[in-house]
Amino acid sequence: MAEREGSWWSRGWGVIVLVAFAVYLGAAVYEAAVIAPMWSLTPPASVKAWAALDARPDSSALFQPLVAIIVVATSMAWISGISERGWRRWWLTLALACAGALAAIVVVMLMPCERSLFGAAALGDRDAADVVALTGEWIRAAAMRLAALLVGAWAAYRAQLAGMLGATSASALREAPSTGRRARDFAFGDEVDDEVTLGDDAGNPRERWMTSLPRRRRTAKK
């Protein structure tokens, strides 16, 4: 049975989910490759120097709204597409699980680490071991966030692709021309007299063999 295309409502939310996952994934990769090494390589000195900057970038201004958009849009796409048959609903379920994991990682792990590392008390005298431990926790949480983003973006992409492939396959099946050839009309051979017909009206095999012979050989056989 061909998969249904899915409602426009679910597909629209799916586009928002895919774009939000892609934007967050690109920003997280940039942060992990460019921003984080500036303060996480030699803690606690690098952390204190980074916190003392007046114009240091604040990723939470972008990441927190993106998390909210991903969770809301994924929930709406899943709710409006859960009744659909095929793989689309399972990809949406995986994307929703990744969105929930992403929200948990950001709220429970990343945000507390960032407040402790770069908050109001960041420039005061702090225990170096605590700063190093918090830096390690942030790096592990960032790796988990990146994994959730990768799987979630792939699941959202596959959910959109599954809907389009289902619609394309159904349209191709509807538009395919019928050959109009039945099973009993199937034949082997090039010549009409030499074909072997599979069907109800097979005839007498001996008579067919006799009629296929040349006239002189038929007379001799008789």
Listed by start position, the domains of the chain span 8-175, 183-221
Contacts with 185 (C-beta within 8 Å, 6 or more apart), sequence order: 197, 199
Contacts with 137 (C-beta within 8 Å, 6 or more apart), sequence order: 109, 113
3-state secondary structure of 188: strand
Segment 112-149, tens digit of pLDDT:
999 989 877 676 778 889 999 999 999 999 999 999 99
> Looking at residues 102-108, what average pLDDT do you find?
96
> Looking at residues 100-114, what average pLDDT do you find?
95
Q: Which two tokens stand for residue 157?
A: 């992409």
Task: Quote the pLDDT of residue 202.
Answer: 52
Task: Quote the pLDDT of residue 189.
Answer: 47
Q: Which residue has the higher pLDDT, 199 or 40?
A: 40
pTM for the predicted model, two decimal places: 0.70
Distance CA 16, CA 77 (A): 9
Confidence of residue 52 (pLDDT cuts 50, 70, 90): confident
Residue type, 196: V
pLDDT > 50? residue 2:
no
Percent share of the chain, pLDDT over 90: 48
Segment 61-81, tens digit of pLDDT:
889 999 999 999 999 999 988
Give the least confident one: 70-79, 102-111, 179-188, 206-215. 179-188
Q: Which residue has the higher pLDDT, 206 or 23?
A: 23
- How many residues are recorded in the chain? 222
